Amino acid sequence: MKTKRISSAMEKMLNEQMTREAYQAQVYLSFGCWAEENSFVGVSEFLYRHMQEEREHMFKFVKYILDRGGSISIDTIKAAPKAPKDIGDCLEKILKHEIDNSKEIDKIVNLAHKEKDWATFSFGQWFVKEQIEEETLINELIDKYTLASKEVTDNVNLYEMDKDLASASQHATIPREEKL
Ligand code: FEO
């Protein structure tokens, strides 16, 4: 049993975020299944890999809460959203989920700052950076989709994009990491 080093309010907020990361994994899982059902195998592989990343995020919260002497409360995970209309809609919905998630991470960092809980503030910074990366990554995919789907009439580029996503990185280079 460790000494509890986070406030009860922070413990609650971190537990809620843990469940939210599990929900994020369900979103990627459900959209990945939708893509595979619709023969976009590359897109589905990308989404399944990202589902694993979200589970890792969830587990980071589990470990952090326990390391700081808090208790884990495993809660209900919301149902995954309805299937998207097409790949563009899928990517737009994912972006919205990521932006919503970034706002929730900001709340944790704000509370940590208010409480002068510098350990959680530091822990939260990893997620702030991760969310910048994830939003950038999805924005880049939306750009690729726009190029692939809007500028040709026969959609051959959509086939190329699907192959591209099969091996696409799960990480984007964020501006401050750019090498000159
Ligand atoms: Fe863990 Fe994509 O947020």
Residue 105, C-beta contacts closer than 8 angstroms, at least 6 positions apart:
17, 124, 127, 128, 131
Would you say the CB of residue 57 lies under 6 angstroms from ligand 1? yes
DSSP at 1: -
Answer whether residue 2 is part of any domain: no
What is the pLDDT, as a whole number, of residue 71? 98
Given the structure tokens 């939708």, which residue do they identify?
34
Q: Is 173 helix (H, G, I), strand (E, B) or coil?
A: coil
Answer whether residue 142 is part of any domain: yes
What is the pLDDT, as a whole number, of residue 49? 97
CB-CB contact of 125 with 62 (8 Å): no
Answer whether residue 147 is part of any domain: yes
Answer whether residue 180 is part of any domain: no
Taking the centre of ligand 1 as the mean of its atom positions, its distance from the CA of residue 151, in whole angstroms, is 31
Q: How many domains does the chain have?
A: 1
Cα distance between the two ends of the chain? 48
Taking the centre of ligand 1 as the mean of its atom positions, its distance from the CA of residue 46, in whole angstroms, is 14
CB-CB contact of 108 with 65 (8 Å): no
For residue range 79-115, what is the model confidence (pLDDT) as tens digits?
999 999 999 999 999 999 999 999 999 999 999 999 9
Taking the centre of ligand 1 as the mean of its atom positions, its distance from the CA of residue 32, in whole angstroms, is 15
Provide the CA 117 distance to its chain's centre, in angstroms: 24
For residue range 109-144, what is the model confidence (pLDDT) as tens digits?
999 999 999 999 999 999 999 999 999 999 999 988
Please say if the pLDDT value at position 178 is more than 70.
Answer: no
Would you say the CB of residue 98 lies under 6 angstroms from ligand 1? yes
Residue-by-residue DSSP string for 122-149: HHHHHHHHHHHHHHHHHHHHHHHHHHHH
From CA 63, how far away is CA 12, in angstroms rounded? 14
Binning pLDDT at 50, 70 and 90, where does residue 55 land? Answer: very high
Answer whether residue 175 is part of any domain: no
Answer whether residue 91 is part of any domain: yes
Would you say the CB of residue 17 lies under 6 angstroms from ligand 1? no
Would you say the CB of residue 162 lies under 6 angstroms from ligand 1? no
Answer whether residue 152 is part of any domain: yes
Whole-structure pTM value: 0.88
Would you say the CB of residue 135 lies under 6 angstroms from ligand 1? no
Answer whether residue 29 is part of any domain: yes
- Phi first, then psi: what are they for 173, rounded to 5°? -85, 120
CATH number of the domain enclosing 42: 1.20.1260.10
Domain hosting residue 31, numbered range: 8-170
User: How much is the CA Rg of the chain, to the nearest whole Å?
Assistant: 18
